Structure 1
């Protein structure tokens, strides 16, 4: 589990892709390796990955992770090149303040940057989700204005949402622009998107009630509440 508060920017120093997946080595990462162990989870551009090797001294501190084909298909990591910077966050500790939102590190899809608009010292960015398919339905229903979304692993507040053209926007203050990679990305570039997991669980629970045996009990509860209101207002006996 992560908070979406990026701790450090690492640098891709090696990528090796084969039929089974890819190996990624991220350097200049000593700042987050002081308490690292083999098997630890680190969110890399929002993808929860397992540390398979690490060296606190080599190349400014580096660690190696393995990317399965599912990760390559869902995220932008397969498009990264040597020298690219990546957002890094260690798994959430029980001793720390919880300043972001619940981020699993399970990327849902990618979105493309379609607008970049300066706003004083801040930067407004707009993104477009891909066309939905039967196997990957639209994620727009999980996005609401002033809600949360994780973009490349960074917890951000949604400033606008348009269901009609599958777009949504965020605003980066100057501090955030300096601490994450998003503000440096150009138009058309893909970013990793993870929607709020709480909304997904809520949707599944409500759908199960409406489609299952719970429908009659839910209807009865609503009818009872309506009846009590009408009686209290003297509209029925």
Structure 2
């Protein structure tokens, strides 16, 4: 489990493709690796990956991860190159301050940067909204972009297509890879974890026993503030 608060910006040091997928070596730069052990999880551009080897030398550390073909197909990793910068976050501890939102590190899809507009001391980013994920994305709700916890500030839906807007402040640009983004950049998207489980609960109950009505309704969710 992660919080979506990026701890460091790393870079891909090596990519070794194999039949099962690929093994990547990630340069950690200023990520604190002193407490990392084999088998630990590190979110790399929002993807929960298992550390299979590491070097915790201060200032020049790195870790290795295996990426499956499934992950390559469902995320932006297939287009990454040696030198590509990546957001890094170690798995949260029970004592960690919860600064973002609940992030699983399981990417739901890939979104595309459609527009970047300056607005005072911040920037507005419009991103594509994959059709199959659109119903999970709500105004003032949370999404994760390349591992960064962010708030959706606006939606624009047009039939089968749609987009959503994020407002990015200077601190986020400085501490993440947002400065690397351009129009056309593909990013990893994870929707809100609670939204996914609510949908599963509602649809599963209805499928298994149509005669049993769930106490959870759209009206109740609106009243509770989950749906605006």
Shift of the 58–24 alpha-carbon distance from structure 1 to 2, 3 Å rule, reads farther
**Is there any run of 5+ residues in structure 1 with no aligned partner, and where?**
133-137, 223-237
Map of 1:47 onto structure 2? 47
Paired with 2:85 and 2:3, the residues of 1 have a C-alpha distance of 20
Matching residue within 165, 190, 195 for 1:199: 195
Paired with 1:218 and 1:101, the residues of 2 have a C-alpha distance of 27
Paired with 2:167 and 2:96, the residues of 1 have a C-alpha distance of 26
Map of 2:144 onto structure 1? 150
Paired with 2:30 and 2:120, the residues of 1 have a C-alpha distance of 34
Map of 2:37 onto structure 1? 37
Range moving further from structure 2, 71-80 or 41-50: 71-80
TM-score (norm 1): 0.85
Paired with 2:21 and 2:127, the residues of 1 have a C-alpha distance of 27
Q: How far 1:216 sits from its partner (Å)? A: 4.5
Secondary structure of 1:200 counterpart: helix
The size of the alignment, in residue pairs, is 215
Say which structure is richer in helix: 1
TM-score (norm 2): 0.88
Contact 2:115 2:125 in 1 (8 A): yes
Contact 2:205 2:212 in 1 (8 A): no
Question: RMSD across aligned C-alpha pairs, in angstroms?
Answer: 2.0
Paired with 1:90 and 1:183, the residues of 2 have a C-alpha distance of 22
Secondary structure of 2:78 counterpart: helix
Contact 1:27 1:59 in 2 (8 A): no
**Is there any run of 5+ residues in structure 2 with no aligned partner, and where?**
218-228
Q: How far 1:183 sits from its partner (Å)? A: 3.3
Paired with 1:98 and 1:214, the residues of 2 have a C-alpha distance of 38
Paired with 2:54 and 2:214, the residues of 1 have a C-alpha distance of 53
Q: Which runs of 4+ in 1 moved over 6 A?
A: none
